[in-house]
Amino acid sequence: MGNRSKQIAAIFLCFFAVLGSIQAGSLPDFTELVERNAPAVVNISTVSHGKQGYHQFHTPENMPIPENSPFNDLFRRFFDEEGKGEMPPEDSESLGSGFIISKDGYVLTNHHVVDGADEVIVRLSNRKSYEARVVGSDEASDIALLKIDADDLPAVRIGNSKNLKIGAWVLAIGSPFGFDATVTAGIVSAKGRSLPSENYVPYIQTDVAINPGNSGGPLFNLDGEVVGINSQIFSRSGGFMGLSFAIPIELAMNVVDQLRKDGHVTRGYLGVLIQDVDRNLAETFGMSRPQGALVARVIKDSPAAKGGLRVGDVILMFNDQLLRNSSQLPPLVGTMAVGEDARLKVLRNGKEIELTVRIAELPSEEAQEQPEEAAAPDAAKSNRLGLVFSELTAEERKKLELSNDEGVRVEEVHEGPAASAGVDPGDVVLMVDGRKISSLAQLQQIIKAVPKGKTVAMLLLKPQGPVFVALRAPD
């Protein structure tokens, strides 16, 4: 090799060495963070005597296993239709994680880790084990507070997830599959995620590797502060797929404070049923873009009713916080103190107004009766939307909890705008284009008067509750 070739090779070697050092320097070093915080992370094992047991780990939806998979029989044995690992009805054990939040022995974990357990054992990193007492547990937020009889324990530092930025590095410590003190890292993928059947937790989404046994473990930021509690994964296979969800630590600590003080959790209550505003509905309300929470129902005698909220209102802001979608509202309401006043900015009939609503306590159980289907007489002819209607009887209105002059039933849905929008036979039309529907004749007149090509909002009472849909009148 000539001198010139040697010089070129040397230049390339120097270039790649510098590039490697730059790349290495840009990645975080977690060693000090782990050394300082790992002793405060604990392994939690539970025993249930003679009860149906489960592998304690949450998944937001079912996990279908391909029929031809060699693991099909195995997963059918260990995972039921709700995504929980079913065990024989005898003494059963499960594993999870947790972390010490105070030197006098308070430990934080998930509700689903200790739910139904007769014994809860907390094992520290130094291998010492303690039988824990469940101070309190809250299913809605999936938070449980434990207490062990020990002093001068290592405790984590509590941070604030509100300061997290999308793309920031985070780290988890836990016991996946029973492997104690396992460390995994990743980035924040999103914030304020809403999951199915989870109304009160705005989850932190990460790509940190989380598996069964990580539940209840801490999620740290680079400052070594706990910013979340690892709780759920989204998986179609039962294993990690890059979608992990953590409970924001400030929400968890609010629950902890209530559990320590009262032994239970109270939540704020507004008294509305809401839905998202999609592109078509935004057009009907004269909005430049979809945003906010559309009020589909106002519960009678609720704070919302007393505060002046109406069906068809779009809540744009709650206590000065802009609502991008409806899922942001329940956590904001739920974390408010009972008796506190909430400030709402609402879009009504194309104009923004401000309301003040005094928050009440969420009832322990809200009766949600399903309306019964009933045959209706004398259906009218199909209209330009492809719908056939019929009047409701007084008895039907009573069953549906409607007033004496409210609602018209959908009898048939033919091909047309209504079918495309999701209108179904049996739905009850409550409102069209901001006007309350009191009779079949009035409804037919409103539909007839809708200009060609105009999109209007129709409020339907479906078996699952009231829902707005957007209908475009045919040209």
Residues with active-site annotation: 112, 142, 215
Q: How far apart are CA 174 and CA 2, in angstroms?
A: 56
Q: How many CB atoms lie within 10 A of CB 254?
A: 16
Q: Side-chain half-sphere of 74: how many Cα atoms within 13 Å?
A: 6
- Quote the tokens at residue 163: 């300061």
Write the DSSP assignment of 368-397 as a string of letters: -PPPPP---SSPPPP-TTSEEEEEPPHHHH
Q: CB of 460 within 8 A of CB of 372?
A: no
Distances, alpha carbon 308 to alpha carbons 299, 348, 354, in Å:
12, 11, 10
3-state DSSP assignment of residue 256: helix
Q: What is the DSSP string of 291-358?
A: -SEEEEEE-TTSHHHHHT--TT-EEEEETTEE-SSGGGHHHHHHTSPTT-EEEEEEEETTEEEEEEEE
What is the C-alpha radius of gyration for the chain, rounded to an integer number of angstroms? 28
Contact 184, 175 (CB under 8 A): no
Residue of 413, 422, 428 lying closest to 469 (CA atoms): 422
Buried b (16+ CB within 10 A) or exposed e, 304-321: bbebebebbbbbbbbeee
Closest C-alpha among 167, 213, 159 to residue 186 = 167
Whether 299 contacts 272, CB under 8 Å:
yes
Residues comprising the chain, all counted: 475
Asked whether the beta carbons of 323 and 292 are under 8 A apart, the reply is yes
**287 sits in which H/E element:** none
Query: Which 3 state secondary structure label does DSSP give 253?
Result: helix
